[in-house]
Amino acid sequence: MGTNSTHVDLPGSKRSAYRNAKRGKPIEADARFEVTVRVEHPAVSSEQIRPGKNKKKGHISYRDFEATFGAKDADLNAVANFAAKFGLTVVAGRKASSSVVLSGSAAQFQKAFDVELYHYQYDHGTYRGREGFVRVPVELKGVVAGVFGLDNRPFARPHNVRPRSAGPEATSFNPQDLAAIYNFPTGVTGAGQTVGIIELGGGYRPKDLKTYFKNIHVAVTGTLSTVSVDQGNNAPGGDADVEVMLDIEVVSAVAPGANVVVYFAPDASDKSFLDAVEAAVHDKTNAPSVISISWGGPEGGVTDTFSTQMDETMQAAAALGITVFVASGDSGAADEGPNEWDHVDSPASSPHVTAVGGTRILAQNGARQAEQVWNQNEADTQDDSFGSSGGGISEVFPVPAWQAKIALPPSANADAKPGRGVPDVAADADPASGYNVRVDGQNMVIGGTSGAAPLWAALIALINQQNGARVGFINPALCASAGGTPFNAITGGDNKVGASEVGYNAGAPWNACTGLGTPNGQEVAKILDSSSKVGAA
Residue 288 near residue 197, CB atoms below 8 Å: no
Rounded to a whole number of angstroms, the distance between the first and last alpha carbons of the chain is 47
| Annotated catalytic residue, options 307, 450, 494, 532 | 450
Residues facing residue 157 across a β-bridge: 296
How large is the angle between the packed helices 241-254 and 206-215, nearest 10 degrees?
40
Query: In this structure, what DSSP letter does residue 326 have?
Result: E
Is 243 a known active-site residue? Answer: yes
Residue 254 near residue 179, CB atoms below 8 Å: yes
**Residues in CB range of 377: below 8 A, 6 or more apart:** 386
Q: What is the DSSP string of 440-457?
A: TTEEEEEBSHHHHHHHHH
> Cα torsion for 220, 222, 224, 228, to the nearest 10°?
-160
Is 247 a known active-site residue? Answer: yes
For residue 376, how many other CB atoms are within 10 A of its CB?
22
Query: In this structure, what DSSP letter does residue 380 have?
Result: G
Question: Cα separation of 471 and 343, whole Å?
Answer: 30
Is 139 a known active-site residue? Answer: no
User: Which run of H or of E encompasses 244?
Assistant: helix 241-254
| Annotated catalytic residue, options 114, 208, 230, 247 | 247
Question: Cα separation of 120 and 390, whole Å?
Answer: 29
| Helices and strands (DSSP H and E) totals, the chain | 12, 29
Return the closest-CA partner of residue 453 out of 250, 171, 240, 225: 250
| Annotated catalytic residue, options 243, 270, 342, 424 | 243
Active site (catalytic) residues: 243, 247, 450
